[in-house]
Structure 1
């Protein structure tokens, strides 16, 4: 079995959904880290939320018994990876992989959010 290309198919929005135990705390954290804004909520109490900034969208779903995966669940390219890293450190978020220049052309690191979800953050290296 091989991966196939499809010349006729265009993709639109593609948004990861993260399970979280405290949806409001996660909203505040992701807003502080990335400037994401809450654009949609569902439920009373809120059990689903959409956060958005620029072309990036993140969906949060309330999962009281959430157990994080042991792999990166999302990858995000940003314009200032050093600033995002600083914000993570200031908030005492666990850094899984340290900030460093990678051989594949990114400066990147991986952190765990409040629920242990592993997020890979990168910025394209110049040149």
Structure 2
């Protein structure tokens, strides 16, 4: 039995959606500290925001009862991971896994954003 190929499967953009208790505080963090820019917001009061920087896209959704999980909710690939690590530490954010070179070819660390969302950051070695 053979399957009919009616065209190749292709994906477009995909972005992590982070739940946040205070959407303005979260936007200030990702825009002010990490350099994202706000490209869309929805609701009155605002309950959803799309942020972009370079090739990255991140969605924030207001969830007033949000409780952070104990696992990573997003993975970011960056250039100059040491600079990002310094910014995270200067801001006083919790570093869950220290910055280190991994045997799978990434320099990586994990931090928590102001809402406790764990973000795994990597850069190819």
CA RMSD of superposed structures (Å)? 1.2
- Residues 12-35 of structure 1: per-residue CA shift (max 9 Å, x gap): 211000000111111111123431
Looking at structure 1, the residues matched to 30 and 19 of structure 2 have their Cα atoms a distance apart, in angstroms, of 13
Alignment of structure 1 residues 47-62 onto 2, 5 Å: 47-62=47-62
Instruction: Kindly tell me the number of residue pairs found equivalent between the two proteins.
Output: 119
Alignment of structure 1 residues 1-127 onto 2, 5 Å: 8-125=8-125
Note the C-alpha offset of 1:115.
0.8
Looking at structure 2, the residues matched to 107 and 34 of structure 1 have their Cα atoms a distance apart, in angstroms, of 19
- Residues 56-81 of structure 1: per-residue CA shift (max 9 Å, x gap): 10000011110011100000000111
Q: Normalised by the size of structure 2, how large is the TM-score?
A: 0.91
Shift >3 Å, 4+ stretches: none
Looking at structure 1, the residues matched to 74 and 35 of structure 2 have their Cα atoms a distance apart, in angstroms, of 17
Looking at structure 1, the residues matched to 103 and 66 of structure 2 have their Cα atoms a distance apart, in angstroms, of 34
Looking at structure 1, the residues matched to 34 and 25 of structure 2 have their Cα atoms a distance apart, in angstroms, of 14
Structure with bigger gyration radius: 2
Note the C-alpha offset of 1:85.
0.5
- Residues 19-55 of structure 1: per-residue CA shift (max 9 Å, x gap): 0011111111112343110000000110000000122
Q: Is the 8 A contact 1:33 1:84 kept in 2?
A: no
Q: In 2 relative to 1, CA 79–58 (structure 1 residues): closer, same or farther, beyond 3 Å?
A: same
Bigger mean CA offset, 30-39 vs 106-115: 30-39
